[in-house]
Structure 1
Amino acid sequence: MIQLLGIRKNTGVEIREKLTLSPKKRKEYTKELLQYFDEIIILSTCNRTEIYYNGSLKGEESLLKIFEVLNWDIDLKENCFYLDERDTIKHLMEVVCGFHSKILGEDQILGQIKEAYSLAMEIGSSNSELQRLFQEAITCGKKFRTEGKLYEIPVSSASIAVSEAIKSNCKKIMVIGYGEVGSLVVKYALSSNIEKLNLVVRTVEKVTNIYDERVEVMTYDEGREIINEMDCVISCTSAPHLIIEKRHINEEGKDIVIFDLAMPRDVDEKIKDFSRIKLFDIDEISSIDDENKNLRKERMLQYKNIIKEHINNFCEWKNLREVSDIIKSMKKNSSKVINERQKTFEHKCHDKKDIEIAEILIKSTSDYYVNRAIEVLKEEQLKGHGKECIKILEKIFLKEV
């Protein structure tokens, strides 16, 4: 059975960072969880950690096993939610369309779900129902954004951070980290009227796609040396430890606005002690009122029928999958009967042309009735009468004579 364990909405950042999984650990934990479940896909972003799994271990028992494998504090269990199969399917389709994002309809979640799915395929942790569910969800997310034209109303933590920086008249901006979020921050910042952008990364040589003269790429140590000269700092790494500590910030100097888009957090909250520092974490950034928020919400609700369509697609696939074995048996038995009838005819007729015509007629007649029976079986399965139909078809097509 497909199930989901996730962190509750509105759980504080100080709790969420204790329940995050670093990219390096995700493979390791996925492989460990496969010892207890048939399929595993882990979705871990700055705003959410969700474990999608398929197996016979269910409910509370499965939840406890996941906490044990991930080394999570069981006392934090109340901050998590569990969904059964039906609600998990609905939840994933809504998530991929941005309905459960702190910033409603943000664009990054589709890419993050693709990344989680790709990792699962790479390590072989999804090869059946979860695989199909994520394929359907990704298709749903693409269609939702294309038909809803959400790109006309852009909004994301990256765009909000840059927008607030520009409103505060920040001209010198430092961006720490150049992953998916960091690259968006750089893109938005360079499209604005800024004077300088210092991009701080672990390996300078890997940044080869920026040609803007306002950009200087540097190491972490180099970035910390000039951080006090910045108007704004936007940090968005995937590091498991603090990137900016209190010791890196001078108590005196000009005002600096710092946006911490990371989870776990990149910036030590103690720097708030300095009056020159204005620090926003991911939750505070998400709560900033954006003029596009209501427009996007209204647009998204208009296209929610796309989610229902893809939920139905997956449920229909799963429903029909349950009768796939009987369909295979019917086709196999049909081939056996055709072969027997053809051999019988060959023994009674020695004209090669007549034999070829007879083989075609025998096969086409058998295929007609078997295919019609399969159509009826699928129809009855979707109506909830599959078991009764199977019993009848087994007597007709599979009973030994």
Structure 2
Amino acid sequence: MIQMIGIKGCCPIEIREKLSIMVYKEKDALENMMKVSKEAVIINTCNRTEIYLNSNNEDEIEIESIFNLLEWDERYIEHVFKINGYNSVKHLMEVCSGFHSKILGEDQILGQVKRSYRVSLECNTIRNSLQRLFQTAIACGKRFRSEAKLYKIPVSSASIVAKEIIKENKKHIMLIGFGEVGKRIYKYINNFEFSKLLIVVREPNKVYLNDPRVKVISYSEKNEFIKDIDIIVSCTSAPHIVIYKDEVKDIPITIFDLSIPRDVDPKIEALDYIKLYNIDDISKMDKYNKDKRKTQMEDCRYIIEDHIKEYMNWERLRGLAPLFKEISSSSDNIYKERLKSYNRKKYTKDNEELVEVLLKSTSDYYLHRAMEILKEEKLKGSERQCQAIIEKIFLLKN
């Protein structure tokens, strides 16, 4: 049975970061999930932690078991929810289509789901139902983005922050972290007339941009430049704080913290000369585009329904696989018997006549069997459904 355990949408950021899984711990977390499940995928982003499981039987996996395996504090269990079966399938389709993102319809989630799927493949924690579910959900997300034309109203935390930077007309910017989100922010502000962009990374020699306005520095150098900066954008995957209160003391500055766990010391919020925005604050910006996206997305919900139906039908038909195997084996036995008969007689009889006889006997075998079954069902008074199936098999009616 497919089950999903996730963090409630109303969960405050200070709790969400306690229930996040650091990237370097993802594979260990997947291995731990296999202690209670035969398949597992973890979607782990700055805004969500969702664990998809295919349990070994029809019994539900207890949330407490997951907390124990991940060494999460059970005091936070009230901030977690669990759904099963159809509801899990529907939820994942909606996630891939952007319905459950903090920034409605944002374009990063599909790539994040793909990454989670690849990690599970690498760890060999996905193979049957979950594998098919994620393949279908990713296809759903691709089709949804295309048909809903969300690319005409692009939005993500990176694009919103870039828009705010341009709106405030700040010229001196510090970007801490240059992963996927950091690169997006640089792309969005590239045409903006900023004077200086400092990119802070662990290994500066690995980042090269042919842009005279850009200087790449190490973490140890960052505090030398902060006093001359107007805006800081922090988007690392660090498990600890990277900007402390003492580092920005008496510096009027705007800070955007896009990370979970947070990069920025929460104590900085108390400084009235600093504007601090965390990922939840950022998701509330850009209301006009959000309303436009919501209308277009609701109009395309049929795409999600199509893919839910596709997956649920596949799941239902899987139960027929053993029967199909038996039918195939029975068919092989019949043809092998006819082949043996042909090999025994091919030098003693006219070959064309022999082939005709054997082909006729093969078709007669199934014909007579169908007639016998129909007679049996007639005597039971339940021939109507049987007759309809036989008519379909023998193409008797269009």
TM-score by length of 1: 0.87
Return the match for 1:329 from 322, 326, 331. 326
Which structure 2 residues correspond to residues 299-318 of structure 1 after superposition, within 5 A? 299-318=296-315
Determine the C-alpha separation between the residues in 2 that align with 1:244 and 1:16: 19
Contact kept in structure 2, 1:7 and 1:16, CA below 8 Å: yes
Contact kept in structure 2, 1:145 and 1:151, CA below 8 Å: yes
- SS of 2:288's equivalent? coil
1:14-39 CA-to-partner distances (Å, cap 9, x unmatched) read 11000000000110111121122100
- SS of 1:103's equivalent? coil
Contact kept in structure 2, 1:46 and 1:263, CA below 8 Å: yes
Match of 1:343, as an amino acid? K
Which structure 2 residues correspond to residues 148-159 of structure 1 after superposition, within 5 A? 148-159=148-159
Q: Which residue of 2 aligns with 1:380?
A: none
1:114-134 CA-to-partner distances (Å, cap 9, x unmatched) read 000000001101011101100
How far the C-alpha of 1:352 sits from its partner, in A, is: 7.7
Unaligned regions of 5+ residues in structure 2, if any? Answer: 371-384, 391-398
Question: Using a 3 Å threshold, how does the CA distance of structure 1 residues 363 and 223 change in structure 2: closer, same or farther?
Answer: farther
How far the C-alpha of 1:181 sits from its partner, in A, is: 1.3
Match of 1:92, as an amino acid? L
Unaligned regions of 5+ residues in structure 1, if any? Answer: 373-387, 394-401
Match of 2:359, as an amino acid? L
Determine the C-alpha separation between the residues in 2 that align with 1:363 and 1:135: 44
Return the match for 2:316 from 304, 319, 343. 319
Q: Which residue of 2 aligns with 1:13?
A: 13
Q: Which residue of 1 aligns with 2:393?
A: none
Determine the C-alpha separation between the residues in 1 that align with 2:326 and 2:60: 38
Which structure 2 residues correspond to residues 343-358 of structure 1 after superposition, within 5 A? 343-350=340-347, 351=349, 353-354=351-352, 357-358=355-356
Determine the C-alpha separation between the residues in 2 that align with 1:109 and 1:177: 19
Determine the C-alpha separation between the residues in 2 that align with 1:107 and 1:61: 32
How far the C-alpha of 1:228 sits from its partner, in A, is: 2.2
Q: Which residue of 2 aligns with 1:51?
A: 51
Check if 1:262 corresponds to 2:259.
yes
How far the C-alpha of 1:162 sits from its partner, in A, is: 1.4
Determine the C-alpha separation between the residues in 2 that align with 1:54 and 1:274: 48
How far the C-alpha of 1:361 sits from its partner, in A, is: 3.5
TM-score by length of 2: 0.87
Contact kept in structure 2, 1:204 and 1:218, CA below 8 Å: yes
Match of 1:198, as an amino acid? L
Match of 1:241, as an amino acid? H
Determine the C-alpha separation between the residues in 2 that align with 1:6 and 1:101: 13
Give the CA RMSD over aligned residues: 2.5
Question: Using a 3 Å threshold, how does the CA distance of structure 1 residues 187 and 360 change in structure 2: closer, same or farther?
Answer: farther
Determine the C-alpha separation between the residues in 1 that align with 2:31 and 2:236: 25
Match of 2:234, as an amino acid? S
1:176-230 CA-to-partner distances (Å, cap 9, x unmatched) read 111121111111121322222111111112224x322221111111123212211
| Aligned residue-pair number | 371
How far the C-alpha of 1:236 sits from its partner, in A, is: 0.6
Determine the C-alpha separation between the residues in 2 that align with 1:275 and 1:366: 90
Check if 1:168 corresponds to 2:158.
no
How far the C-alpha of 1:242 sits from its partner, in A, is: 0.2
Check if 1:229 corresponds to 2:228.
yes
Q: Which residue of 2 aligns with 1:376?
A: none
1:78-109 CA-to-partner distances (Å, cap 9, x unmatched) read 10110011100000000011001111000000
Q: Which residue of 2 aligns with 1:238?
A: 237
How far the C-alpha of 1:275 sits from its partner, in A, is: 2.7
Determine the C-alpha separation between the residues in 2 that align with 1:160 and 1:285: 7
Q: Which residue of 2 aligns with 1:115?
A: 115
